[in-house]
Amino acid sequence: MVETSLKLVYSLALFGALSAAVLLGLLRGLDYYVYERLRFDNVVVVAISSTASIVFLGVVWIAMAVIDLVRSRGLRVHTYEVAVLLMLSVLLDATLKLIFRVPRPGLSGLVQPVSALMSVEYYSYPSGHATRAVALALYAGKRSSTAWSLAIYTWAFAVCLSRILLGVHWTSDVLGGFAAGLITLYASELLKDPLKKVLEALRLGFVLK
C-alpha cells in the first residue's frame, strides 16, 4: 500500500511537470514539428486507435462480465479491477480535459464547446486513449507471461502512436496520457478494496470469485 502510494505521488509529480510544460508552451515546438511531419491516416491506424476507445473496451468488459456470471455467478477479481480502472480513467480524462482546455490539432481555441460532453471531444490534453492503453497495459502486463507482456506493451505503444499519426492529438497530449495512465493504475489499486467494501455494504449482490 505504501509503495503504491509513493508510485502515485511520483506519477502525479510527473503529470504536474508535463502539464506545467504544456501550459508554459515549452513543448509547443515539439508538438508542431511532429504534427507536420508524422501523419499517416489509414484504416489500420484507425483500427489500432479504436481498440482503446471507451466504447470498444466497454464492450470487451461486458463480455468478460457475462462470461464470469455464466460460469460462476460472480465477477472475477480481475474483471472487477478492470472495471474500477476503466471508470477511473474516464472520470480522470474528462476532468483533466475540462481543467486544461487544450484544443485538439486543427481546432481553433476561439471556438468553445457548448456542453461538457462536447468539451471532452474538443479538448485534447491529456489523451484519453493513451491513458487507458497505458493503464491497462501495465495492469495486464505484470499479470502475464513475458511474451504476452511484450505483446500488451506493444499494443499500448501502437495506440499512443496512432493518436499522433491520425493528427487528433499533440505529442504532449500522449505524454500527458502516459502520466495519467500511471495515475489511473495506482489510484485504482488504492481504491479497489474500499470501493468493494462499499458495494458489499450496500447489499448490491456484489460477489467476487
Which of the residues 129, 130, 139, 183 is marked catalytic?
129
For residue 62, pLDDT over 90 is answered with yes
Whether 129 sits among the annotated catalytic residues: the reply is yes
pLDDT reading at 47 higher than 80: yes
**In this predicted structure, what is the pLDDT of residue 110?**
46
Do the domain assignments include residue 209? no
Q: What total of structural domains would you count in the chain?
A: 1
Residue 207 lies in a domain: no
Q: Is the pLDDT of residue 192 over 70?
A: yes
- At 109 the pLDDT is 52
Closest CA to 134 of 156, 162, 119, 101: 156
Residue 195 has pLDDT above 60, yes or no: yes
Is the distance from CB of 132 to CB of 89 less than 8 angstroms?
yes
Which tens digits make up the pLDDT trace of 104-162?
887 655 455 444 445 557 889 999 999 999 999 999 998 888 899 999 999 999 999 99
- Identity of residue 184: T
The parent domain of residue 143 ranges over 2-201
Task: Please check whether residue 186 lies inside any domain of the structure.
Answer: yes
Percentage above 70 pLDDT, the chain: 88
State which amino acid sits at residue 94.
A
| Structural domain contains residue 144 | yes
pLDDT of 64 higher than 50: yes
Residues 64 and 201: beta-carbon distance below 8 Å? no
**Average pLDDT of span 9-21:** 97
In this structure, the dihedral spanned by the alpha carbons of residues 80, 50, 47 and 166, taken in order and rounded to 10 degrees, is: -140
Q: For residues 146 and 148, what is the distance between their CA atoms, to the nearest angstrom?
A: 6
**Is the pTM for the entire model greater than 0.75?**
yes
**Residue 208 domain flag:** no
Average pLDDT in the 202-209 region?
A: 59
Is 169 considered catalytic here?
A: yes
Catalytic residue among 130, 169, 170, 172: 169
Residue 161, in any domain of the structure: yes
Domain contains 206: no
79, 188, 80, 75: which is closest to 131 by C-alpha?
A: 188
User: Grid coordinates in use for 126?
Assistant: 491529456
